[in-house]
Amino acid sequence: MTSPAGAGLIRSVASRGTISVAIVGPASVVAGDVARFRAEVDGASTWVWLAPDGTAYPDAPELAITAVTPGEALIHLAAVASDGQTTQATLRLLVKSPAE
């Protein structure tokens, strides 16, 4: 589920059992600019970001990416609890061309 998070940010939330994860970040960015995202994780023993280029960033509280190509980019945040339960949040980032 995605909802407004104030100050031009959105929050994408997923939960399952005792785990809750959320990605907080911008809904859009201009190609060439850096977009920053914050993880909100509860009930998980570990988590991992998956950037649009496929790079994994384990247990990082934040993720910063440089948007390259106009279009849609997906940011994923997956979490695992100590009992093996998993959940994943996905944020759809609109990458605008510099002329927009």
Q: What is the pLDDT of residues 52-81, one digit of tens each?
A: 999 999 999 999 999 999 999 999 999 999
For residue 5, pLDDT beyond 80: no
pLDDT at 99: 82
Task: Specify the pTM.
Answer: 0.89
* CATH number for the domain formed by residue range(s) 2-96: 2.60.40.10
Interval 7-23 mean pLDDT = 93
Burial environment of residue 54 by CB neighbours within 10 A (0 to 12, 13 to 18, 19 or more): exposed
